[in-house]
Structure formats: C-alpha cells, structure tokens
Structure 1
C-alpha cells in the first residue's frame, strides 16, 4: 500500500507503478492527470485509470494523441462515459478500457456495461480491469463474439 497520510491508503496494483503528483486540498486528495493536464479528485477508480494511462503510453507505446478519457456517448437516451477510449490512426475506436475500483470484482455486470459501450463504438478490443485483475478481449465481428486474449493489444499502427 502507498501511504499518503494516515487517512489515505492506495493499493499497489497489478500494473507498473506510477509516480503520481498528489495533493490534498480542502480535505480531498487530488491526482494530477498528465494527459488532461489538470487535477482530479482521487477515487479508487481514478487510481486504476491513471495506472492504465501510464501503462498504455509508457510501456505499450500508445500514441498520446489517440487516447480519449471519459468520452461521453449516448446509449438509449442515457448519457454514458467510457473510462479510456483509444482510437486507431484512422480515427476508429480501437480499444475501450473499463476501469473499476480495486475492491470491485470483474464480473458479468462489468462485462455487460463494457459491451454496451462496445455496441455503440464498435472497438476492436475491450479491457476490463480493477487494477488487480484484467480481462483482455478481442472482438471477432464475423462470429459476433469476443475472444479472451492472454495479453494486451499492441498499440494501433
């Protein structure tokens, strides 16, 4: 566990460590989002999302300009937001990452939520993650189904 002060404990995740810029203001903890260039309230889900952003950009060499965070979309008149959306070089959705807090299990409900986003955006890949467990899926359009992968998708070319 990373200790910020006696009140806040951030779990070590099953992702490469990050060096976050954290600050406390008005009793709330904030994390600086280098991609959006602003401070965000640090929630357990945001902790996971920031690790994924770093992993995509640093370890997997995804181009920064292809990432979109908390992108709004409509599904059946409801306003929804993807946690992380990556586009390919032609601007088509390539990867959706659905982040959950570390204490939330990756289950059928999580998959169904991510599939709602996929049904609208038609991405080639989908990752479900709570920072501890990750499920990486590839969409097989001809068979109208997902296939589970043993690794994460490479950066779009």
Structure 2
C-alpha cells in the first residue's frame, strides 16, 4: 500500500512502513510491538521517527519503548517514545505530534512533565516536519537546545 494521501511526506528519512487497509482506517505494522496499529497522523510521525532513531542513529530497537506508562501526581500518562541505555537507564524522551500540529510551549511542557519521573538527559519534540532536541541539566535546573540527538 502506498502512502495514504492525508499523510504528508516528513522531514525525516524515508521509512519502509508496512501499511494495509483493514476496515475504515489504514493500519501500520509496528515492528517493535509486533502488531498492527491504526495509522493516525501521530502514529505516522512516531513510526518514521523510530526508523530515524534505529536507522540514522543506530539505536537498537530493543532499547526503545513506545507509549511508556508513567504515573505522575496520581495521573496515568504515556510518553510516546523512551530510549534506554544499554544499562537500562532512560536517556531520551520523544514526544510526537501530527504534522499539522504546531510545536508550542505546551508541547515542551508536556514532555518536561514526563521527565519528572524519568529524569532523562535529553528531550525531543517533533511533528515530523520540525524537530527540537534539548539537553537537560538537572542540577542547574536548566536546558539548552542542541542541533542533533547525541549518540546514546
């Protein structure tokens, strides 16, 4: 199946996604979770970004967790992508938005909120077109934007 019309090309390397039509909405095969998922605009971005992490940065797929369950202030939340080190320490949180969703302060606040529990050194927000990566200095309680995701 070719790229569905409502899913734009992204500012990421091409990803060889397995797509199918099975009912009213297209589905994508998630190679990490080994199941078919409804292909939402956000899932389109997430699947491409995972291929970017594994292909461009060489991150072992076994170190990537999708929709990581978090419990913060009594609320059940889910981080889109969490990358762990080889020592099973969380290193990077990625918040994915659909291509049509603007990257705003609210999106940064969302991913920073997830970091309350995980305490990672790097945060990424992306809508597939724009990507921002921040390095967190937990001791100084500050951050700085960096141009690339570091080797993890």
- TM-score norm. by structure 1 comes to 0.92
2:20 to 19, 23, 27: 23
Please list the CA deviations of residues 22-77 of structure 1 after superposition, one character each: whole Å capped at 9, or x if unmatched. 11112121000111111000000000000111011111100121111101111111
1:89 alignment counterpart: 86
Task: Give the alignment's Cα RMSD to 1 decimal.
Answer: 1.1
1:38 alignment counterpart: 35
- 5+ residue gaps, structure 2, are none
**Structure-2 separation of matches of 1:19 and 1:128:** 22
1:65 alignment counterpart: 62
What is the aligned length? 151
How big is the shift at 1:9?
A: 2.3
Please list the CA deviations of residues 52-104 of structure 1 after superposition, one character each: whole Å capped at 9, or x if unmatched. 11011111100121111101111111110000001112211100000001111
- 5+ residue gaps, structure 1, are none
2:145 alignment counterpart: 148
1:110 aligns with 2:107: yes
Give structure 1 regions of 4+ aligned residues with deviation exceeding 3 angstroms: none
Partner SS, residue 139 of structure 2 = helix
Please list the CA deviations of residues 92-141 of structure 1 after superposition, one character each: whole Å capped at 9, or x if unmatched. 11000000011111110000000100111101100000000011001112
- TM-score norm. by structure 2 comes to 0.95
